[in-house]
Amino acid sequence: MSANTVRLTVAQALVRFLAAQHTERDGVEQRLFAGCFGIFGHGNVAGIGQALLEAELADPQALPYYQGRNEQGMVHAAAAFARMRARLTTLACTSSIGPGATNMVTGAALATINRLPVLLLPGDVFATRVASPVLQELERLDGGDVSVNDAFRPVSKYFDRVWRPEQLPSAALSAMRVLTDPAETGAVTLALPQDVQAEAWDWTVELFAHRVWHVPRPVPEPAALARAVEVIQTAQRPLIVAGGGVAYSEATTALQAFCAATGVPVAETQAGKGSLPYDHPLAVGAIGATGTTAANAVARDADVVIGIGTRWSDFTTASRSAFAAPGVRFVNVNVAAFDAAKHAGVSVVADARVALESLAEALSAWSVQPGYREQAGRLAAEWDQTVERAYSLRHAPLPAQSEVLGVVNAVSGPRDVVICAAGSMPGDLHKLWRTRDPKGYHVEYGYSCMGYEIAGGLGVKMASPDREVFVMVGDGSYLMMAQELVTAVQEGVKLIVVLVQNHGFASIGALSESVGAQRFGTRYRFRGESGRLDGDVLPVDLAANAESLGADVLRAGTLDEFRAALIKARDAERTTVVHVETDPLVPAPDSESWWDVPVAEVSGLDSTRRARADYENAKSSQRPYL
Ligand SMILES: Cc1ncc(C[n+]2csc(CCOP(=O)(O)OP(=O)(O)O)c2C)c(N)n1
Ligand SMILES: [Mg+2]
């Protein structure tokens, strides 16, 4: 070993490298990796596992190890953590080879869709192939250099496989660049053959130097800004659609200043909800298929739509039916050129905060007509009354879900976080949740992945221990992935889990009915005498299940009991699950909007034929934005 090299295994070198990485934005420097989740098997126990042990013994803060229960759950926790930390800090995830690795593929897709940085370190089969096929190796007849880890390629923003120790420095540096680039970020995968992980090499010490990745705030090109200003100035009925990019850029103050000065109302996507407090005079709330009637009314007539940090999902545009004015034009502020170019918009490739500040300056002499400003306030006030009614339906014998959400909203503090991902609650929350803090609303609706809720809640609380975290999880999602409750208990990470039991898929049940499919396969029922799944309700006791995983559990029968239990859970020290049963057949207030889910064009069923006629009617309002 020469003076300026150090001999370590590839895994030891990677762990040491990761512990030395930092980000900087707005002059604030922090660790890029707050730790590493892992589940060990023969594909990583002797490599990354051994390296994490050595690191922990030398310095417990270097790269703290967290034990996951399911590899997918680890990635969800890492993604949620990164979202809370505005993408400046994240967690790494190490897995064994084969199933441990492919369990992370779903999490990778979720992170990439939501543009959240997560570093995935799946083990891989021997580079030398001396013992092939190894346990869990999928052999392909058409290529010796392919493993199951190639499934990460389409869902990762950067993928590399470290076949030889010499490749580690360039692979690791490329991985860090992508993780910390706001336009490129997402899942980054470094596949690590199990023999290579344990192989020693003489590393140049500079590899382990304290390294700072400066997270840029790209400024808008002056010509692009001028084009945007020109379009906005002509607007009579402009609308801002705030997406997740507003939160990632920490641009909420700049957004408030811009709309206060110009009077442009603000609608919010799922990821953008919280950009303005719900009672801000220019907040018209959720937009699109799960939107408020206020935002959707403003959207319908808008002549200029200013998208800020949004990827324009079908839920946001109501499958391209939300913006109905002939000649409606888009201005898209986005750090990613790919998103900025959507809907033939005027593209402003820039950081949201910087762009909003530049737009405010350039438009300082311009504002909307007072009447337009007032109309937004009036529509929003009407919707707020709708919310109040939905919060207080007094539905019997079982409460409506909207009442449960109302209680959670009332019991939670202004800075607390509500988290959800799939089922009927994301839509109801989007419409009904009164968000008071930019980070108070955390609904993963890019991948809308059942199973994100509890695992994601763990990540949120790890990122923000000073906030209470209210995890909203349906029985279907709970059954898919509840096991990170054990991790929360193990780490003393306190979650409040609201487990909403409605014996099946309320969301897909309603959707099924609307497409003429009669709620087929969406209820949790025994197979009955008819031979179909229409028998008694399954005797599943999810409260007992949660108890068995080590959580404290409170069972609420009525809404009053639920409120009392939730207050108790909020004030408790330990992770507490509040179990409540709701009526799955009470819908949330209507959005006056649409979502394109194609209905069978021919059918022997009356229900389907009727749904098809409705579908064709709604479909006629869909249009390209060119
Ligand atoms: C992993 C995954 N599988 C399937 C779906 C499709 N899906 C969306 S919501 C839903 C049902 C959710 O059931 P539950 O958690 O009980 O919520 P509810 O609909 O009853 O509110 C399903 C199957 C999904 N989003 N994610
Ligand atoms: Mg359910």
For 205-219, what is each residue's pLDDT tens digit? 999 999 999 999 999
Which pLDDT does position 603 carry in this prediction?
Answer: 98
Average pLDDT over residues 482-504: 98
Q: 475: Cβ below 6 Å to ligand 1?
A: yes
The CB of 159 under 6 Å from ligand 1? The reply is: no
Closest atom of ligand 1 to CA, residue 507: 19
Pure H helices in 302-441: 314-317, 337-340, 352-362, 370-391, 401-411, 425-432
Give the confidence band of 332 by pLDDT, cuts at 50, 70, 90: very high
Q: What pLDDT, in 10s, does the model give residues 163-216?
A: 999 999 999 999 999 999 999 999 999 999 999 999 999 999 999 999 999 999
Confidence of residue 258 (pLDDT cuts 50, 70, 90): very high
556 Cβ closer than 6 Å to some ligand 1 atom: no
pLDDT of residue 484 exceeding 60: yes
- Report which ligand 1 atom has the smallest distance to the Cα of 509: 19
Q: Is 70 in the pocket of ligand 1 (CB under 6 A)?
A: no
| pLDDT of res. 61 | 96
Among 200, 174, 202, 207, smallest CA distance to 189 is for 174
Q: pLDDT of 526-574, one tens digit each?
A: 999 999 999 999 999 999 999 999 999 999 999 999 999 999 999 999 9
Phi, psi of 418 (to 5 degrees): -105, 135
pLDDT of 3: 72
Q: At what angle do helices 370-391 and 293-301 cross, to 10 degrees?
A: 150
| Sign of the four-CA dihedral 604, 610, 614, 616 | positive
476 Cβ below 6 A of ligand 1: yes
Q: DSSP letter at 589? A: P
Residue 157 CA to ligand 1 center (angstroms) comes to 27
Q: Is the pLDDT of residue 511 over 60?
A: yes
Nearest atom in ligand 1 to 480's CA:
1
The per-residue pLDDT for range 457-479, each reduced to its tens digit, is 999 999 999 999 999 999 999 99
The fraction of the chain above a pLDDT of 70, given in percent, is 100
- Give the integer Cα–Cα distance in Å for 61 and 38: 16
Distance 40 CA to ligand 2 centre (A): 33
Q: Among 401, 450, 454, name the best residue to mutate to test ligand 1's pocket (greatest count of ligand atoms within 8 A of Cβ).
A: 450
pTM over 0.85: yes
**pLDDT class of 2 with cuts at 50, 70, 90:** low
Q: Is the CB of 350 under 6 A from ligand 1?
A: no
pLDDT digits (tens, 9 = 90+) for 265-321: 999 999 999 999 999 999 999 999 999 999 999 999 999 999 999 999 999 999 999
Among all ligands shown, which has an atom nearest to the Cα of 405?
1
- Mean per-residue pLDDT of the chain: 97
196 neighbors 214 (Cβ within 8 angstroms): no
Q: Sorting pLDDT into bands at 50, 70 and 90, what band is 156?
A: very high
Kindly report, residue by residue over 97-142, the tens digit of the pLDDT: 999 999 999 999 999 999 999 999 999 999 999 999 999 999 999 9
Query: Do the bridges between strand 469-474 and strand 496-501 make them parallel or antiparallel, or are there none, so unpaired?
Result: parallel
Cα 161 to Cα 22, 123, 194, 200: the distances in Å are 23, 10, 11, 17
Which ligand 1 atom is at minimum distance from the Cα of 449? 26
E-assigned strands of 50-89? 65-67
Strands 28-31 and 21-25: antiparallel
* pLDDT tens, position by position, 61-104: 999 999 999 999 999 999 999 999 999 999 999 999 999 999 99
What mean pLDDT is predicted for residues 155-160? 98
pLDDT at 1 over 80: no
Ligand 1 site, residue 197, Cβ cutoff 6 A: no
- Atom 4 of ligand 1: nearest residue by CA position: 450
Closest CA to 295 of 314, 278, 271: 278
Ligand index nearest the alpha carbon of residue 510: 1
Q: What is the mean pLDDT of the segment spanning 429-443?
A: 98
Cβ of 425 below 6 Å from ligand 1: yes
For residue 418, which of 563, 553, 270 has the smallest C-alpha distance?
Answer: 270
pLDDT tens sequence across 339-361: 999 999 999 999 999 999 999 99
